[in-house]
Chain A
Amino acid sequence: MSTHTAEPGHEPVDLNDPRLSRFDIVREGARRDDIEIVHYEPQVVPGSKAERRLVRTVAAMFLLTGVAATAFLVIYIWWPWEYEPGRGGDKLYTPLLGVTLGIALLGIGFGILTWGKKLLPKEVSIQDRHEGVVSSDDRLITGETMTYMADELGVKRRPLLGVSLLAGLAPVGAVVAAPLVGGLISQPHKNNQMFTTGFAPRDGQKIRLIREDGRPIRPADISAGGQITVFPGVEHGVSNKYADSPTLLIHLRDADAEESRRNNEREGHGDYMWGNYAAYSKICTHAGCPASLYEQQTNRLLCPCHQSQFLITDNAKPVFGPASRRLPQLPIEVDAEGYFVARSDYTETVGPDFWERP
C-alpha cells in the first residue's frame, strides 16, 4: 500500500467500478460517514529489513507469552503451594504465579501494541462533529409531536384524570419503599442498649471484671503503673457481642492515684476508684476505636485511630485531638473473695457520641 494524501473535491464513486482498489472503497465508506482520510502512510516498506525486524520482535513477544503462560500452568499444578511454617518454597508460589502471568499478559500486550503502532500505516482522518447543525425542523417536529400527545391525553381539559393518577400513584411509591425501610429499621433504644454495657448488675449481682482468658482479677495481679484490659464477667463477655464493654483497669502510682482521687471527687466520682486502681472505658468517645496506647510517664491514653489523648489522672478528660468527651469511668470495688467487681454500670454513655446522648 502506498502513501495516500487527500485530493480536494472528490467525485461520487461508483462502487462497482472494477478499477477501484480496496482502499478506494474504504475511503469512500469513510466519506459517507463524513470522514476524510487525509493522510495514510505505511510505516515500513514491505520486505524491508526494518519490517522483518519488527515482525521478529512481535513474534518473539507472542512466543514469550506462550512460554510464560506454560510456565504459569506448570507452577500452578506442580509447585508446592500449601502453607508450611518457615521459609519453604510455598512462599514463592504467589510471586511466581504473578511473574509468569504478568509476563504472559505484558508479552501479548506489547506485541499487539507494537503490531498496531509500528506495522500498521499511520493515518490522519478528519471527521465532522455535526454539532450545532441539529436540524431545527427535527426539534420542531419532536416538540410538536410531544405536545400533540399531551393534547390528545387531554389532561388540561380533564384535570380529574391527572389528579387521580397522581393520587393513585403516590401510595404505590410508598408501597415500594415500605418493605425496604420497614424491614431494615431498628429501634436504637431497645432495652436501653445504647446506654448499658455488660457491667450492668444482673439480678442484684455485681459483675466481676475478667481477663481476656476469663479469669477474674485480684488487686495484686497488676503492678503499680501497669494496666490491663478487662471485660464483664458474663457469658460472651469477652467477645464483640459486648463491643462497648472493654475497659482499661489501671494501677496508678501513689502520687498519680492521689491526684486522680482528688479530681474524681471534684466531679462527684469520689468513690469510683478502689485504692490506687481506676477503670476507664477503652472505647474512644470520638469514633469508637479502642484507646489502647497508655503512656505511663504522662498518664495519657492515646487512641491510635485519630490521636485523641485522654488524661487518666483527671477523669480521662480529652487533652488533645478530635475527641470532645471524657472516657466514662467504671466504679469498681473488690468483693468478698478478693476479686474486682463493678459496683454498678457506667454512669455515663460509653462509646462514640450521638445526637440524643445526654
Chain B
Amino acid sequence: MKRRKFDVAAVPGNTARAVDDRFQVATPLRRLLNKVFPDHWSFLLGEIALFSFIVLLLTGVFLTFFFEPSMTEVIYNGSYAPLRGTPMSAAYASSLDISFDVRGGLIMRQMHHWAALLFMAAIVVHMLRIFFTGAFRKPRETNWIIGSLLFWVGFLAGFTGYSLPDDGLSGTGLRIASAIMLSIPVIGSWVTTSIFGGEFPGTIIISRFFIAHVLLIPALLVALISVHLGLVFKQKHTQWPGPGRTNGNVVGERMFPRYAIKQGGFFMVVFGVIALMGGLFQINPIWLFGPYEAWVVSAASQPDWYVMFLDGSTRLMPDWEIFIPIGDGYVIPPLFWPTVVLPGILVGLSTLYPFLEARYLKDYRSHNLLQRPRDVPFRTGLGAMAITFYVILTLSGANDVIADKFHISLNAMTWAGRIGLLILPPIAYYVTYRLCLGLQQHDREVLAHGVETGIIRRLPDGRFVEVHQPLSAPDEHGHGELPYAGWVVPKKMNRLGALGPAVRGFFYPIEKPAEAPVSPGHPPVEPRAERAEIGSGEKQS
C-alpha cells in the first residue's frame, strides 16, 4: 500500500474541520471574533481591576503553599535576627518565613498586597466613570449593583487577607473588627463569640479567615466578576455620542484582531507595573510590627486605604451612647453608627441609585449613549458630594498623622473633620453644579458664535473685537446655530484643522510634513530655513 504523504499545510484546516464537526463552533466563534467594541480610554479602568484580580489569584496561590493558618504559639527561629526567640503564632512565623526564608517569597507577598490595593482603587475609579457618565442607567442597573457588591466583597477579601499574617498592626485591626461586631445591638456578643470561637482573640479566627480569604470570598468574586463581564458582553458596551453613533448601534473595532490585542498588551502592562511596585516599593513590612500582642500598639497605625474611610468615620463620631433603661439597662455603643449603620446606608444608597434617579427623572427608557458629566449637573453634583464625603472620611482616618506632620492639634483635626463632613459636601454640590452649567453655556456659545481665533480686530469706531470662526454657514442674520450633540465641541482653531497635522517623529521627523491649509487670518509665511524639516506644517514654498 502506498504511504500517504503527510501534508503539513493541511493540518490547521483539517483540525478546524474536525473540531467543528464535533462542536459546531464556527458560527458562535465568528460572532465572537466579530463583536464590536467602542473605544475610549475610560473604558479600560475596569480592566485594571480585572487584571489585578488575575495577578491576585496567581500570587495568592503561591502564598498558600507556604502560609500556615494557625494560631499555635511557636518560638521564631528563622533568618530575621531581631525577632529570633520571640514567641508568636505560627501564622506570623510563616509570614515571616515567606518574607525571609522562601526564595522570591517577599516579592510575591508584596505583589499580592499591591495588586489588592490596585484592585480596590481600580474598582472605585471605574465606578466613578460609570456614575459620572450615566452608564448605570437602564438596561445596566443589574451590572451597577454587581459592581457595588464587588467593592464590598473586595473590601472583605482585603480585610481578611490583611488579618492573616497576625502581626501587630493587623491584630489591632482584628480587635477593632471584633469590637464592631460586639457593638451590634442585641446579637453583638453572640456574633462575636460565634465568629471568634469564644472571647477575642481565641485560637480559631486565623484559620476561619484563611478559608474565607482563599476559598469562599474568591469564589464569590469570581462568580460576580463572571456575571459582570457576561452582562457587559450580552448588553454590549455603552459608547460616547459621536458621528454615526446612535442608541441602537455600537461603533468601534471588532474584537479581533485589534481590540483583543490591545487587551492582551494592557494586561501585560498592568502585570508589569504591579511587578515593579512589588519589587521596588515596600508594603506592609510585618517584621517591623512584631507579633500581635493585645497590649501593644503604636501611633500612626493606619489600615489599608480602602478601610480608612471607616476608620475616619469612627474617629469623627461623637461619644453618643444610647442607654435603654430596661431591666439592668442596655446600650448601643457609639461605635455601632459609623461602622455598621454607615456602611449599610452606603450599600443601600449606591445599589438603589439607578432606580432612584430613573424615578426622579421619570426616565424609564434604555440608554446606550453616555452623557458628559456637565450635561447632567445634578448627578455630577451628587457625585462630587459623595467624593467629598469619602475624601474627608479617608483623610480623617489619617488625622493623627496629619496632625503630627503639620503640627496641628489632634483635637482640631477631629473637629475640622466633624464640621467639614457636614458642610463641605453641600458646597461641593453647589460649586460642581455651577461649573457644569458654565461649561454647558460655553459649549452653546461656541456652537452659536464660533471658535475664538485669537485675532483682535479694531473697528472704525475704535472698539476692539475678537474675530470668531463660526462652526457652520451663517443664516441671513449672521448666526449659524448648531444643535449640541452631547459630545466635545471644538474650542480651538487647531481642532478645526486650521493647523496642519503634527509632524511625526520624536527626535527627528520620520516623514515629510503634509501640505496643510493656511490658518485663516494669517498670510502664508516663509518657513525658517534651518527649521524646515520640523516646521509647524505651514505651507512650504
Contact = CB atoms under 8 A, between A and B. Distances in A.
Interface string B59-98: 0000000000000010000011110000100000000000
A325 B183 CA distance: 14
Interface in B14-40: 30-31, 34-36
Contact of A354 (B189, B236, B264, B295): B189
A288 interface: yes
Given A292-B296, A353-B183, A116 B258 contact: yes
Interface in B187-221: 187-190, 192-195, 197-201
B265 A110 contact: yes
A85 B81 CA distance: 7
A304 B301 contact: yes
B319 interface: yes
Interface string B372-409: 00000000000000000000000000011000000000
Interface string A218-258: 00000000000101000000011011101000000000000
A125 B193 contact: no
Nearest to B250: A127
Nearest to B287: A83
Q: Which 5 A-B pairs have the closest CB atoms?
A: A98-B279, A109-B268, A105-B272, A116-B261, A102-B276
A186 interface: yes
A357 B331 contact: yes
Contact of B269 (A85, A109, A229): A109
A29 B34 contact: yes
Nearest to A124: B251
A203 interface: no
Interface string A117-136: 10010011111110110000
B295 A290 contact: yes
B479 interface: no
B32 to A, nearest CB: 10
Contacts of A188: 189-190, 192-193
Nearest to A101: B275
Given A105-B272, A358-B331, A240 B104 contact: no
Interface stretch (A170-178, A267-275, A279-287): A279-287
A293 B175 CA distance: 18
A103 interface: yes
Contact of A111 (B200, B265, B296, B332): B265
Contacts of A244: 199-200, 294
Interface stretch (A11-19, A139-147, A157-165, A314-322): A314-322
Interface stretch (A89-97, A148-156, A327-335, A337-345): A89-97
Given A102-B273, A109-B271, A127-B34, 4 more contacts: A29-B30, A105-B272, A111-B265, A243-B199
Interface residues of A, number: 94
Interface in A72-103: 76, 81-83, 85, 93-99, 101-103
B167 interface: no
A50 B510 contact: yes
B262 A353 contact: no
Contacts of A53: 510
Contacts of B250: 126-127, 129
A104 interface: yes
Contact of B248 (A85, A109, A129, A231): A129
A52 to B, nearest CB: 10
A207 interface: no
Contacts of B176: 287-289, 305
B454 interface: no
B12 interface: no
B185 interface: yes
B329 interface: yes
Contact of A113 (B236, B265, B338): B265
Interface stretch (B116-124, B310-318, B422-430): B310-318
